[in-house]
Amino acid sequence: MPGESGLDMNELHLAPGAALKVSQEFSGAVDKLEELRSQVNSFAFDLGMGACAEGTSWASALKELTSGQTDSVLAVVEAHIKTVKTWAEWAKVAQNEYDNT
């Protein structure tokens, strides 16, 4: 019968600590993604066009592309952070269930 992880521990065979190692690797990936998020969020544009209307328009478009609320590089990175954190937690739960089965 599957446990909280959704896995049937009677059918799962793991090397000692394998799922915990997977969880740690995912957590390390989260750290790197959070660093990338910080870099994307602080990226500054200088198109060399000064404060003219066209320069302001291009800078605004690029800012939206990199750090807008949706469909931006930042939104994708944040979605990946959420997903990878979930995977890390699942692996940790699976290891705990496996160790206690």
8-state DSSP, 75: H
Residue spans per domain, the chain: 18-41+49-99
Q: For residue 79, how many other CB atoms are within 10 A of its CB?
A: 11
Query: Tens digits of per-residue pLDDT, 4-59?
Result: 777 777 777 788 899 999 999 999 999 999 999 999 999 888 888 888 999 889 98
| Angle at alpha carbon of residue 27, lines to 32 and 79, rounded to 5° | 65
Contact predicate 56/46, CB 8 Å = no
Query: Token digits for 100?
Result: 């206690």
